Structures are given as C-alpha cells and as structure tokens.
C-alpha cells in the first residue's frame, strides 16, 4: 500500500466486502451485523484459517488480485473488516 486510501472509499466498500464474507462463508447473519472494526478472528467474528482461504478465493475472483498465504502482512490485512476493505481498495484491479 503505497498511498493511503481515502476513508470515504473504504466506507463505501465496507458493505460489499461484508456481504462477500457472509456469502463466501455461508454465515447466518446479515452483512451489516459485522462490525467494521471488530476482529475477524477469535472473539470478533471467530474466523479460522480455512475461512481466510475461502475469503481470499472470493476476493481474488471479485477484485482481480491474489491474497497470498505467505504475506507477512496477513495478520494486519485480516485484522478487521475495515482493515481488509482498505487493503482491497488499495489493491483491486476490477
């Protein structure tokens, strides 16, 4: 991420990414129930490594870039819905 993405762009993309997560993981919740700044792992949404692989796959199909499992920034990228959305906004080609 070479330059900061304006917050309004991230905010506009949040509902789309939340819906993508709910759909990809077949979660029994509405996308708007995912708190933007709550952790995606552990006490937050409670995702695990398999969930991350599923999310990475749908993100690559939807936005045209790969999330790599060996990326040292994955903990930061998947820290919250907002963090993931900001990363998507900075990387997407579609």
Residues 18-71: tens digit of each pLDDT = 999 999 999 999 999 999 999 998 888 999 989 999 999 999 999 999 998 888
Which domain does 85 fall in, by range?
7-91
| C-alpha radius of gyration, the chain, whole number | 12
| 2 within a domain of the structure (yes/no) | no
Report the CATH number that the domain containing residue 11 is assigned in CATH: 1.10.1200.10
| 75 within a domain of the structure (yes/no) | yes
CA distances (Å), origin 57, targets 21, 28, 38, 52, 89: 11, 20, 22, 9, 16
Helix axes 49-63, 7-25, angle to 10 degrees: 120
| 21 within a domain of the structure (yes/no) | yes
Count of domains in the chain?
Answer: 1
Residues 81-93: tens digit of each pLDDT = 999 999 999 998 7
Among candidate residues 76, 91, 72, 67, the one with its CA nearest the CA of residue 10: 91
d(CA 27, CA 34): 11
Which residue's structure tokens are 């708190």? 35
| 24 within a domain of the structure (yes/no) | yes
């Amino acid at each position: 991420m070479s330059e900061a993405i304006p917050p309004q762009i991230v905010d506009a993309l949040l509902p789309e990414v939340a819906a993508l997560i709910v759909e990809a993981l077949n979660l029994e919740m509405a996308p708007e129930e995912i708190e933007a700044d709550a952790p995606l792992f552990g006490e937050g949404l409670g995702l695990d490594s398999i969930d991350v692989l599923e999310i990475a796959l749908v993100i690559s199909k939807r936005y045209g870039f790969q999330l790599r499992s060996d990326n040292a920034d994955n903990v930061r990228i998947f820290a919250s819905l907002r963090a993931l959305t900001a990363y998507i906004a900075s990387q997407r080609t579609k």
